A and B are shown apart, each in its own frame.
Chain A
């Protein structure tokens, strides 16, 4: 369970203001701290930052990029940490921590310059013979 094939390739995402704003729009979240830098700063934030729906979407994307289109996501558990600000970079790492009856659990860590933005686990099932490991 600790071979190199159980380790997911890293994924680094530049958190451009465009990404922060377009994901806020795509998740139907008009909260100003996700698109209005002046207002975000007035509330004590460094800049606009990712909303939680986007964090969940990016964790999902990170795992399915690796697992392939046949994967079926069953659970996404995320412990939220430091904010992911525009201008920072979100780097995902992950590894398979359990595999039983076609069900895989992948541990995921999404780090930014301030520390861990999201740490969690994604559980998915794969049709037989589709295990990416």
Chain B
């Protein structure tokens, strides 16, 4: 069940109030084969342990790990809270702190019993991984009835993983990008409306092309338009259907103060309010992960 942040804190307070809950005693007493195996794996050549019949202190938790065998799960004040955090969207987990206090070394032959108490929940806090709660608990390992041998404080961050943007379906239509038009689409990518102009006589022209219709020069340049314009003419397209588009939509011819007219969709405007002469400004629509198209929306003159 999804809990609010307040309810999570209430549950945490309840779990803390449960105090220390005893778990199942270790399946095996502290023993030489497991110590020898651990020392070899760690590359630890300290002779003190095997010579004196003592367990390496950092092994405390190892004696009560369930391993591969299914053992009846201990009642723990931690599990309910972790489940509630998962259900509330804080599904990520990463350990942040582990602090061990060793009262003495466990001796070969002793059977350790763990006991767990929940000690605190802090959050929600903003972290590099996402917003989350820090949950802290302590496990104490007892030898015999009530002699604590080791304690371990463990803190984890339960975080809400950042949402990955769902990949968009590719938009089925692509503009024709070629030597003549590449500058225009590069401008769109950068949020600029570029209008081609003649590098010799300065005449602006659109759509872009290789030659100046006035002076026949092949020297091309462009200017960045203000992005404002007015609706010169339009049609409302009802059918046939257009892949990737919902009908009806408006195709307009927009007159720019820079001296050219461009074709584009009129968006963010009820169709019945579209009118010749209306002021427009350019807007950029992300169609899929790669394609951005310029469109026109009602704007200040």
Chain A residues in contact with chain B, CB under 8 A?
13, 19, 22-23, 25-30, 52-61, 64-65, 69-70, 72-80
Contacts and interface: CB of A to CB of B under 8 A. Distances in A.
A23 B42 contact: yes
Given A27-B62, A69-B47, A69-B48, A19 B100 contact: no
Interface of B: 34, 37-38, 40-48, 51, 56-59, 61-62, 65-68, 94-102, 105
A53 B41 CA distance: 12
Nearest to B97: A79
Contacts of A53: 58, 61-62, 65
Given A28-B66, A61-B44, A80-B94, 12 more contacts: A25-B37, A26-B37, A26-B38, A30-B67, A53-B61, A57-B56, A69-B46, A69-B48, A73-B102, A78-B98, A79-B97, A80-B97
Given A23-B42, A69-B47, A70-B48, A60 B58 contact: yes
Contact of A76 (B46, B58, B65, B105): B58
25 contacts: A19-B43, A22-B41, A26-B37, A26-B41, A26-B42, A27-B38, A27-B59, A27-B62, A53-B65, A55-B98, A56-B58, A57-B44, A57-B56, A57-B58, A58-B42, A59-B58, A65-B46, A69-B46, A70-B48, A73-B102, A74-B102, A76-B98, A76-B99, A77-B100, A80-B97
